[in-house]
Structure 1
Amino acid sequence: MPTFHNPTADATEASEALRGLAHATRVFEDPADTYAVLGDLLAGVRSLRQVVDQLATAHVTHRVRAHDDAGDQAAGATNALAATAELQQAAALLDAVHDRADAAMAASGRIAWHVNPAAAAPVSRWVSVVFLQGQDADEVLTIIDRDGTDAAIEHLAGFDMGEETTQAALVNGYVYATIPTGPLDCTTANGEYTLTYNHDHGHVSLLRIQPESKELEAPASRTPPVRRRVRRQARVVEEDDDWFAPSQSSSMPRGRAL
């Protein structure tokens, strides 16, 4: 029990109490208990701030009685003033601790803890399938205006070669935690695909969602591209295996991701 008059005894008890609290808070059986603990901890920070301030005052008030081990009073007074300055700095830092703990308690008070935790939402990433701009994008933007975004997504899905596209995105760093968009971009989704487009800047992009359940691992080394023939819109087009490389028949990049 605190004595309220013996600082050394009460300091010892406070130290033991904090040691016990540090041990007890390693595990919370009921997370709702954190709010009550935060409240008591906040009160403790206020008291600690007062204690530090009073320790600083004691050092400066009694500095005339301070000596070093050799009996030098001037040296003792200098050390007393140094201790006062450090304690004042500590008190200022405790003010910041109080403010942050107070904000944490306010946020904690807005939590309604449920007995049965909800299942964690699956984390997904987005793989860039194709990015077109300039004249290459105009065709898709025309499809959007004429036939709608679903038709544009179906058109761009022809660039998706499945695992090959995924591996190319990994190699080139075109895998995103969130869909990359600009402030003026429009975004729409259809199934696993998300289309972003911007008429003013003249670019379109198609991304495919990669669920958490499907691991993404970049290949150890990249094999040379293989020539293949892809039929799109009643014409045969030869493209490199890397859809993100610039087209050989156009100065504008085709299939370049963000």
Structure 2
Amino acid sequence: MPTFKDPVADADELREAVRGLAHATRTIDDPTAVYAVLGSISSALASLSQSLHQLGEFHDGPTRKQAWMNGDAHAGRAASYRESWELHRAAEMIHQVAECVDRAHEIEATIAYDIADYPSLAPVPRPLPDRGLSL
């Protein structure tokens, strides 16, 4: 359950949730689930992009001036700048990936599946009730 306050705990939960999704999508028993899964992935990617930008912004601010490496403030500021650059760059890449997933989600909305191809979705034949009539 997300805390909305503890980034370390929430990042750990994200890791486990994505790992679980990777296992769960090895086989798809219900093709109609793909639409919902893509919608959730799209939303998650948007939040991930936002999180990476926010982490980058952390290094854009006063933290950069306070960073140091082995007692060298110049090296610390340079490292903070490089980290910020990489985080913003990754956030933009994730944003582009999210746009691709959004398009796939839109296309998935136009696809219909024949339930005859998926026995787990076919209606279950039910026996007719015995009404005590015999021939």
Q: What TM-score, normalized to structure 2? A: 0.82
Post-superposition CA distance 1:65-105 (Å, at most 9, x none): 2111x221110110000011111111221221111111000
CA–CA distance in structure 1, aligned partners of residues 33 and 7 of structure 2: 30
Measure how far apart 1:116 and its partner are: 2.2
Give secondary structure in 1 for the equivalent of 2:104: helix
Residue of structure 2 in register with 1:112 after alignment = 112
Residue of structure 1 in register with 2:88 after alignment = 88
Residue of structure 1 in register with 2:59 after alignment = 59
The code of the aligned residue for 2:71 comes to G
Post-superposition CA distance 1:134-165 (Å, at most 9, x none): xxxxxxxxxxxxxxxxxxxxxxxxxxxxxxxx
Q: Which has the larger helix fraction?
A: 2
Residue of structure 1 in register with 2:30 after alignment = 30
Post-superposition CA distance 1:227-249 (Å, at most 9, x none): xxxxxxxxxxxxxxxxxxxxxxx
The code of the aligned residue for 1:16 comes to E
CA–CA distance in structure 1, aligned partners of residues 71 and 116 of structure 2: 67
Residue of structure 2 in register with 1:173 after alignment = none
Structure 2 alignment gaps of length 5 or more: 118-135
Work out whether 1:97 is the aligned partner of 2:121. no
Post-superposition CA distance 1:208-254 (Å, at most 9, x none): xxxxxxxxxxxxxxxxxxxxxxxxxxxxxxxxxxxxxxxxxxxxxxx
CA–CA distance in structure 2, aligned partners of residues 95 and 10 of structure 1: 20
CA–CA distance in structure 2, aligned partners of residues 18 and 95 of structure 1: 17
Point out 4+ residue stretches in structure 1 off by more than 6 angstroms.
Answer: none
Residue of structure 1 in register with 2:19 after alignment = 19
Q: Which structure would you say has the larger Rg?
A: 1
1:104-143 aligned within 5 A: 104-117=104-117
Work out whether 1:44 is the aligned partner of 2:7. no
CA–CA distance in structure 1, aligned partners of residues 96 and 43 of structure 2: 14
Work out whether 1:71 is the aligned partner of 2:71. yes
CA–CA distance in structure 2, aligned partners of residues 10 and 95 of structure 1: 20
Residue of structure 2 in register with 1:212 after alignment = none
Residue of structure 2 in register with 1:181 after alignment = none
Count of aligned pairs: 116
Residue of structure 1 in register with 2:123 after alignment = none
Q: Tell me the percent identity.
A: 41
The code of the aligned residue for 2:100 comes to R
Structure 1 alignment gaps of length 5 or more: 118-258
The code of the aligned residue for 1:65 comes to Q
Residue of structure 1 in register with 2:126 after alignment = none
CA–CA distance in structure 2, aligned partners of residues 23 and 66 of structure 1: 40
Give secondary structure in 1 for the equivalent of 2:107: helix
